[in-house]
A and B are shown apart, each in its own frame.
Chain A
Amino acid sequence: MPKIFIDNTSYEVKAGKNVLEACLTLGFDLPYFCWHPAMGSVGACRQCAVKVYKDENDTSGKIIMSCMEGVRDGMHLSIDDKAAKAFREQVIEWLMTNHPHDCPVCDEGGSCHLQDMTVMTGHDYRRYDYKKRTYVNQYLGPFIHHEMNRCIQCYRCVRFYKDYAGGKDLNVFAAHNHVYFGREKDGTLESPFSGNLAEVCPTGVFTDKTLRQHYTRKWDLTSAPSVCQHCSVGCNTIAGERYGGLRNIVNRYNAEVNGYFLCDRGRFGYEFVNSENRITKPQVMHQAVDENALMHHLETVLTNHSLIGIGSPRASMESNFALLDLVGKENFFCGVYNEEMMLERRITDILDSGKIPVASLKQIEDADAVVILGEDIWNTAPMMALAVRQSVMKTGGREATEKTPMPEWHELAVKELQQNTKGFMVNVTVTETSLDEIASLNINAAPDDIARLGFAIANHIHPSLELKNFEEAVLAKAKTIADELLKCSNPVIITGTSCYNDPVLRAAFDIAAALKAAGKAPAIAFVVPECNSMGLAMMRGHAFDTAVRRVNREPNVTAVILEQDLYRNLPAGIVDEFLSKCRNIIVLDSLNNATTEKAHVLIPASTFAEGDGTLISYEGRAQRYYQVYVPDNKYIRESWKWLSRMKMIISGKANGHDPHHDSVISSLETALRQFAGISAAAPSSGFSIHGEQIPREPHRYSGRTAMLANRNVSEPKPVADGDSPLSFTMEGYQGTPPSSAIPFFWKPGWNSPQAVNKYQQEIGGDLIGGNPGVRLFVKSSGNMPEFFKDYPEHFRERQNKWLLLPQSHVFGSDELSVYSAGIAGRSPEPYMGLSPVDAKMLDVTEGSQVTIKSEKEEYSFPVKIVESLRNGIVLVSKGLPGTQGMSWGNWVELAK
């Protein structure tokens, strides 16, 4: 490790880092703007200047930008040097010449990096007495508010938006001291990662427009660590509340998962919590009832009938387990058909075998090659797509800097060397995707053919089977891909359930297995549909088909349906039939939907913001989300609390106390061995530091004694939280909490999200105490995996039938987030994609209405002609209004 001297004290630092990173890691407060730990250095802002000396005898030294200089053994630096300090102060003074100082009315105030850095440099007196330059702001869509006057031209926005995330519609315009960051003209920012601008921008140019509609300062938020609910990636978030409403979602750093960023669905999809559509009171036969009446009714319903439970892929492990515990393992079902369930079971089997490790987002970013089989991850797991982009770019950068060594953080220089050199990435999908533009090879094929290509690749890497009836072209492509993969050392194979095709999953495994056999260190990632699909699959409930048979056989069944709209995933006819056969229907959910309308007993469940729970992400990572606030509605409780109470009713202990979270999670661990270790995902409720809990409110939280004075002039006693180590107050432990229980990032002098620096072991590295979450699939010994080998037949078009496949949309395909106005506004109109040949055959043109006929249902959509689509496939927008209950992966008829 190089030893450097900072103001004559020696420190050991990590080699290969720049001076700024080294100083920040050592805990020095050195101001910066344009440098970003995930985006490297460009040397634009000149804020991080320090003095460097030739040796210990040099007293004059030279001012350098610490972000542009690598650490060298024996380097002598000074942060406190007078000239360096004066220069840093001068830079702030320059930036402030045009900054409007509108902090009191600025959304960024209180979590502003510019404020922090200004105070840090000590600049306090203005020598500039001229008019400031002004700009015209732009309308940038429902998510981001634009206020260009505040801009300090650090270029982070365009560097994130264009270079890091691949966006095209944000750019820098004009020159000199009138540089403008915006779009070519007013309009919605197209990238699904635009929300990160609010955090990347060091001041208030780009701010969260949804927060603006119910604005609260950071210091006035009651916040809790949370986990995103809108796909299976499991990004870590922080959710903030005031006055009983959820106000915003910001990033919660997790080096292995989402790093510094979130996608827009995750960041702006939270408003379903505040939705008008929330279920607020228990209902019996559509009549609102109070708790006594509800309990009384439940007693009759629960004790006199046999129970079945339908678990939910978007409910927490605790709730699913409480349901299983209530109805018994053999009566626990999943809300999907057997075929779909088998896909998820295949995934959990593969991961559980431990033969191939599962790839975290960080591992995907660091992979030197990526193969995507059949999953449009841009739309189904956006943050994974962002990670793939980083892999492609970083690998290209490494390749380019092999001959001309250049440290990775030296962003512009690396880019210059790199130009168009990209890492190897193959994107094999049903139709074109947004990742195509960075892929080395794009192949569009039907699911079976995707699988066949996968098997052919595996066979080229490690011959294990005889390939019959393979076209030369496919074999040639497979060879190209296999040869490239053999040049890599840690490739990642990504696939998922979107193709509704088991061979695709097996093929992905075989590629990974072949790579392992070839001495590589592959990892695999399976994208699943919902935030807890993986957890539910691991519970191994029965398929919905069995539940239908059960109610047909047994007349007296009470169905307990947990947090899901059956009509969304299953054909309406089947669900109608199922529900009509149930004697009683108990539904627990947070929002009204088609299924809740059919409920005989409807129970308001909490959302993630009002309850505690654990979700298991695609990588089998169990992550805890904490209750953010106590809703002003005693009926809104976690489903697991309601279900546990039901269990108590059955066992005749209806008057007992509600169970605490700890006991539910430990019962889960005992009852289902596959979840052993899940309790370690976060500290238990008894956890405290020096007898203090972790406050959800910052120490500057205002209005505590007054905000409820309209009801009672006495300040109410804070609610005790028996389920977590967090308290609903501003008092408590003020130090660094355990990494999985960080309710907000704040340190003295660091009010902005960049305070995360102080929570990391090294800048851009793991959090102190390790990254949150427990991976339940543990890597097993180095046993060689068995290959599946069973490749499917060639995809064949059928006479007058089409294979129905989903087209996912970042905005719109997720059930809950569309209750947020912004997300709803970004959802496209549903359409039906057909290949040009099929469209011609059906004699339809772009926009014509075509009807899909499946067994029981008929749907009608306008046609979109998709050039890249194979003949014999029909693609329909997933999850949008009118597309519920489609039988994905089945053959359907089309009619004009």
Chain B
Amino acid sequence: MGKKLLIDRVGIEGIRYFDTYRKHGGYASVEKAFKMAPADIVEEIKKSGLRGRGGAGFPTGMKWSFLAKPEGVPRYLVCNADESEPGTFKDRYLMEFIPHLLIEGLVVSSFALGSNRTFIYIRGEYAWIVDILEQAIEEARQNGFLGNNILNSGFDCEIYVQRGAGAYICGEETALLESLEGKRGNPRIKPPFPAVKGLWDSPTVVNNVETLAAVVPIINMGGDAYSQIGIGKSTGTKLISACGNINRPGVYEIDMTISVEEFVYSDEYCGGIPNGKKLKACIPGGSSVPILPANLLFKTAKGEKRMMTYESLADGGFQTGSMMGSGGFIVLDEDQCVVRHTLTLARFYRHESCGQCSPCREGTGWMEKILNNIEYGRGKMNDIDLLWDIQRRIEGNTICPLGDAAAWPVAAAIRHFRDEFEWHVLNPEESQKRNYGLANYAEPREVVAS
């Protein structure tokens, strides 16, 4: 059984409320942190090896140390709670069931970064969570963990919750800042980076909910201890939101020492595939990371066991690997159609493209149309090549990573499941009646007990 640092207390009744949370060790990190110098807190975070949990995995301590500190200019911490990646719902879980953990992390982080006004930019659809967070903020304020002169430290901090209006692109940090400033959420061109000029012309750090929550155990246990958990550069624990064809969908905290196979089949986590079906493919890190067929999921191309770590999931690059991403673990069983699945994702990315730069704006719509034709038996053989061509020209040529996020799933689907696409084109009528099934790229495996 792996170590749990974030959601270990979720089962406690009333943990959503301050008193219970406090009784169970809540806000201890604030008391500890406020006795430290802000620079030392940043140092602890660096030592912990914590990597951004939003998807890119950038070392958090490094990000914090980039924050410019000009005289007379406020600094801002912004919590990115615009969790919109299909398949990812870990932040929601965290905010819904243990909101004070985030608030606690925010107070410590605000103190470390010198942010007197901290914002939580939350996905518009998470309306009910706004109420939960606001109540938690109010409780924290009443108990002296927010507001002026927190714990007599002389440090003031207010946390504001801002709802987004439902755009995926606003989860991109610069688009998020634009939106937070009340503007159209188009990504900014970098440089300048937010650490220099972010929100309202001021140095800003934007961190994911889980990242900020992880600050709490790091302060409590110390950066060194935290860095001992996990393998290599994948330190600490990671929330994985598992969904799809598994027996136990939900949010799991893993300590990044387990294998993918264990994660899928262990009863502690996903609990295997329902109805004795076979695993066909899996997206290990949220909808934008490459899909992996079963034969590449549990073992890397080199034949090594694939672990639930940043490095191991990325092993083999995009040819034979994928990414940890935001931890949205989507499992497809043998009954699922990869073409249909890819179409669903393409539709999502088309809809969420902001429309700023040509490749993404026009390319995503075109890809959706082609996939739509293939899925509904109107596809042509050269459509597959065209699809490949379009995604290849989008990737790396857009202003923000949304273009990449839209291109990668299509690329991976064609790369690994090309025969399924071809089967759709060659058997238009049949493809309307049944799915392609497992075919030959997914080696059926027996359930392995953990």
Q: Which of A40-48, A435-443, A857-865, A888-896 contacts B (4 or more CB under 8 A)?
A: A40-48
CA distance A355 to B8 in the complex (A): 81
Closest to B68 in A: A404
Specify the chain A residue showing the minimal Cβ separation from B392: A90
Contacts of B184 in A (CB 8 A): 172
CA A98 to CA B396, docked complex, whole Å? 23
Chain A 131-163: CB-based contact to B (< 8 A → 1; otherwise 0): 001000000000000000000110100000000
Query: Is B376 part of the contact surface with A, judged by Cβ < 8 Å?
Result: no
A90-B366 CB under 8 A given contacts A175-B167, A404-B196: no
Task: State which residues 70-97 of A face B: CB under 8 Å.
Answer: 86-87, 90-91, 94-95, 97
Q: Is B362 interfacial (CB-CB < 8 Å)?
A: yes
Residue of A nearest to B403 (CB): A46
A128-B366, A416-B197 known; A153+B355 contact, CB < 8 A: yes
Contacting pair A177 B364 (CB below 8 A): yes
For B358, give its contact among A94, A172, A416 (CB under 8 Å): A94
Asked if A707 CB lies within 8 Å of chain B CBs, one says: no
Provide the bound-state CA to CA distance between A45 and B357, in Å: 5
Stretch at the interface among B124-132, B142-150, B185-193, B250-258: B185-193
Chain A residues with CB below 8 A from B105, complex form: none
> When the two chains form their complex, are residues B365 and A177 in contact, meaning their CB atoms are under 8 A apart?
yes
Are B358's CB and A44's CB within 8 A?
A: yes
Q: Which of A390-415 contact B (CB under 8 A)?
A: 404, 406, 410, 412-413
Q: How distant is B124 from chain A, measured CB to nearest CB, in Å?
A: 14
Is B398 among interface residues, defined by CB-CB distance under 8 A? yes
Chain A residues whose CB sits within 8 angstroms of the CB of B351 once the complex forms: 175-176
Q: Does A840 contact B (CB under 8 A)?
A: no
- Tell me if B350 counts as interface (CB < 8 A to partner A): yes
CB within 8 Å for A406 and B192 given contacts A46-B398, A87-B393, A419-B200: yes
Pick the contact of B361: A47, A179, A413, A417 (CB < 8 A).
A179
Min Cβ gap B179→A in Å is 12
Query: How many angstroms from the CA of A95 to the CA of B362 in the assembled complex?
Result: 7
Q: How large is the interface on B (under 10, 10 to 19, 20 to 34, 35 or more residues)?
A: 35 or more
Is B399's CB under 8 angstroms from A44's CB?
yes
State A179–B369 Cα separation when bound (angstroms): 18
Per-position binary interface string of chain A over residues 253-284, scored 1 when its CB falls under 8 Å from any chain B CB and 0 otherwise:
00000000000000000000000000000000
Nearest CB of A to B432, in Å: 20
Q: Give the residue name and chain of the A residue nearest to B382 (CB).
A: A127
Assembled-state Cα–Cα distance A410/B190 (Å) = 11
A177 vs B365: C-alpha distance in the bound complex, in angstroms?
7
- A413, B369: Cβ atoms under 8 Å? no
A178 within 8 A of B: yes
A63 at the interface (CB under 8 A from B): yes
| B366 contacts across to A, CB distance below 8 A | 94, 97, 128, 130
Q: If A153-B355, A177-B350, A178-B355 touch, does A416 touch B188 (CB 8 Å cutoff)? A: yes
B358–A95 CB distance below 8 A: yes
Q: Say yes or no: A419 contacts B189, CB within 8 Å.
A: no
Docked Cα-Cα span, A47 to B191, in Å, equals 21
Q: Does A359 touch B at the CB level, under 8 Å?
A: no
The residue on A at minimum CB distance from B352 is A176
| Chain B residue with Cβ nearest A414 | B192
Closest chain-A Cβ to B73's Cβ sits at a distance in Å of: 11
- Residue contact B188 to A176, C-beta cutoff 8 Å: no
CB neighbours of A127 from chain B (8 A): 386
Closest Cβ of chain A: how far from B322's Cβ, in Å?
24
Expressed in whole angstroms, the minimum distance between the Cβ of A97 and any Cβ of chain B is: 5
**Using Cβ atoms and an 8 Å threshold, which residues of chain A touch B389?**
90
Asked if A49 is at the interface (CB within 8 A of a chain B CB), the reply is yes
Instruction: With both chains docked as a complex, state the minimum distance between the C-beta of B408 and any C-beta of chain A, in angstroms.
Output: 18
Are B357 and A404 closer than 8 Å at their CB atoms? Answer: no
> What A residues does B167 contact at CB under 8 A?
175
Contact A43 B357 (CB under 8 A): yes
Question: Is residue A841 contacting chain B, with contact meaning CB distance below 8 A?
Answer: no
Q: Which of B191, B352, B386 contacts A413 (CB 8 A)?
A: B191
Q: In the complex, A409 Cα to B205 Cα: how many Å?
A: 27
Q: Provide the bound-state CA to CA distance between A63 and B397, in Å.
A: 8
**Chain B positions within 8 Å of A404 at CB level:** 191-192, 196-197
Across the interface, which residues of B come within 8 angstroms of A46, CB to CB?
A: 357-359, 397-398
**Cβ of B354 under 8 Å from chain A:** yes
Q: Which residues of B contact A87 (CB under 8 A)?
A: 393, 397
Does B201 interact with chain A (Cβ within 8 Å)? yes
Q: Is the CB of A176 within 8 A of B192?
A: no
B356 at the interface (CB under 8 A from A): yes
Q: What residues on A are CB-neighbors of B357 within 8 Å?
A: 43-46
Query: Which residues of chain B have C-beta atoms less than 8 A from A68's C-beta?
Result: 189
Q: Which residues of A contact B352 (CB under 8 A)?
A: 175-176
CA distance A493 to B361 in the complex (A): 46
With A42-B189, A46-B357, A155-B356: A176-B365 Cβ-Cβ less than 8 Å = yes
Query: Which residue from B189, B196, B361, B393 sits with its C-beta under 8 Å from A177?
Result: B361
Does any Cβ of A come within 8 Å of B363's Cβ?
Answer: yes
Given the known interface contacts A91-B359, A97-B362, A416-B188, the answer about A175 and B196 at a Cβ–Cβ threshold of 8 Å is no
CA distance A20 to B81 in the complex (A): 39
Interface presence of A713 (CB below 8 A): no
Complex partner residue of B369 from A94, A130, A155, A412, CB under 8 angstroms: A130
Q: Which of B184, B361, B364, B397 has the most CB of A within 10 A?
A: B361
- A174 in contact (CB, < 8 A): yes
Which chain B residue has the least Cβ–Cβ distance from A96? B362
User: Residue on B with the closest CB to A47?
Assistant: B358
The one of B169, B358, B393 that contacts A153, using a Cβ cutoff of 8 Å: B358
Most B CB within 10 A of own CB, among A47, A63, A86, A175: A175
> What chain A residues lie within 8 Å of B398 (beta carbons)?
46
Bound Cα distance from A562 to B359, whole angstroms = 60
What's the Cα separation between A785 and B20 when bound, in Å? Answer: 81
Q: Which of A43, A86, A179, A420 is in CB contact (< 8 Å) with B399?
A: A43
Q: Tell me whether B353 is interfacial, beta carbon within 8 Å.
A: yes
CA distance A49 to B358 in the complex (A): 12
Closest Cβ–Cβ distance, residue B316 to chain A (whole Å)? 21
Whole-angstrom distance from the CB of B291 to the nearest CB of chain A? 23
How long is the Cα–Cα vector from A693 to B364 in the complex, in angstroms?
Answer: 53
Minimum CB distance partner of B194 in chain A: A416
Q: Which of B197, B358, B364 contacts A91 (CB 8 A)?
A: B358
Nearest Cβ in chain A — how far from B61, in angstroms? 23
Q: Would you give the shortest CB distance from B101 to chain A, in whole angstroms? A: 33
Q: In the complex, which residues of chain B have a beta carbon less than 8 angstroms from the beta carbon of A416?
A: 188-189, 192, 197
Chain A residues with CB under 8 Å of B200's CB are 419
A155 nearest CB neighbor, chain B only: B356
CB distance from A88 to the nearest CB of B (A): 10
**Residues of chain B within 8 A of A413, CB atoms compared:** 188-192
CA distance A270 to B144 in the complex (A): 71
Which one of A91, A97, A179 lies within 8 Å of B355 (CB-CB)?
A: A179
Chain B: minimal CB distance from A508 (Å): 35
- Contact indicator per residue, chain B 384-396, by CB within 8 Å of chain A (1) or not (0): 0010011001001
CA gap between A128 and B380 in the complex, in Å: 12
CB-based contact A63/B192 at 8 Å? no
How far, in Å, is A46 (CB) from chain B's closest CB? Answer: 5
Within the complex, what minimum Cβ distance (angstroms) separates B381 from chain A?
13
User: Is the pair A44, B356 in contact by a Cβ cutoff of 8 Å?
Assistant: yes
CA A175 to CA B357, docked complex, whole Å: 11
Given contact pairs A153-B361, A413-B189, a sample of 4 additional A-B residue pairs in the complex whose CB atoms are under 8 Å apart: A91-B358, A94-B361, A176-B365, A416-B197
- Nearest first, the 5 A-B pairs at minimum CB distance are A94-B362, A179-B355, A419-B201, A177-B365, A176-B353
Where the two chains meet, the residues of A that have a C-beta atom closer than 8 Å to any C-beta of B are 42-47, 49, 63, 68, 86-87, 90-91, 94-95, 97-98, 127-128, 130, 133, 152-153, 155, 172, 174-179, 404, 406, 410, 412-413, 416-417, 419-420
Supply 29 A–B pairs (Cβ within 8 Å), ascending by A: A43-B357, A45-B357, A46-B398, A47-B358, A86-B393, A87-B397, A90-B393, A95-B358, A97-B365, A130-B369, A152-B358, A172-B184, A175-B351, A175-B352, A176-B350, A176-B354, A176-B355, A177-B355, A177-B361, A177-B362, A177-B364, A179-B361, A404-B191, A404-B197, A413-B189, A413-B190, A413-B191, A413-B192, A416-B192
